[in-house]
C-alpha cells in the first residue's frame, strides 16, 4: 500500500519532480519509430524511488565515487546475523 501511494505521488507530481528536463528521453519518445509512444502516459521514476533504475545507478555512482577517493578494496565481506543471538546481544 505504501509503495502504491508513493507511485501515485510520483504520477501526480511529475511537474514538481521536473522530469520534463530529460531532453534525451523526450527526443527519443517523439521519434516516429518508437512503438506505443501515443498510448498511455509515460511516468519517470526519480532516483529517490527505491528499486528504480535511477536509484540503482545512483548507488553505483556513489560506490564508484567512494572508491575513487579511498581506493578500491581488496576484500568485500557481507555478513548476516540474527540480532537476538546471544553472541550479538
Q: What is the model's pLDDT at position 69?
A: 92
Phi and psi at 62, nearest 5°, equal -65, -45
Low-confidence ranges of the chain (pLDDT < 50): none
Q: What is the model's pLDDT at position 65?
A: 93
List b or e across 20-49, with b for residues whose CB sees 16 or more CB atoms inside 10 angstroms: eeeeeeeeeeeeeeeeeeeeeeeebbeeeb
> pLDDT by residue (tens digit) across 17-37?
666 566 556 565 556 665 655
Amino acid at each position: 500500500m505504501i509503495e502504491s501511494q508513493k507511485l501515485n505521488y510520483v504520477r501526480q507530481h511529475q511537474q514538481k519532480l521536473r522530469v520534463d528536463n530529460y531532453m534525451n528521453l523526450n527526443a527519443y519518445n517523439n521519434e516516429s519509430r518508437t512503438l506505443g509512444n501515443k498510448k498511455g502516459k509515460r511516468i519517470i521514476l526519480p532516483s529517490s524511488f527505491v528499486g528504480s533504475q535511477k536509484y540503482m545507478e545512483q548507488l553505483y555512482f556513489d560506490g564508484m565515487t567512494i572508491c575513487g577517493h579511498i581506493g578500491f578494496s581488496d576484500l568485500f565481506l557481507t555478513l548476516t546475523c540474527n540480532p537476538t543471538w546471544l553472541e550479538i546481544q
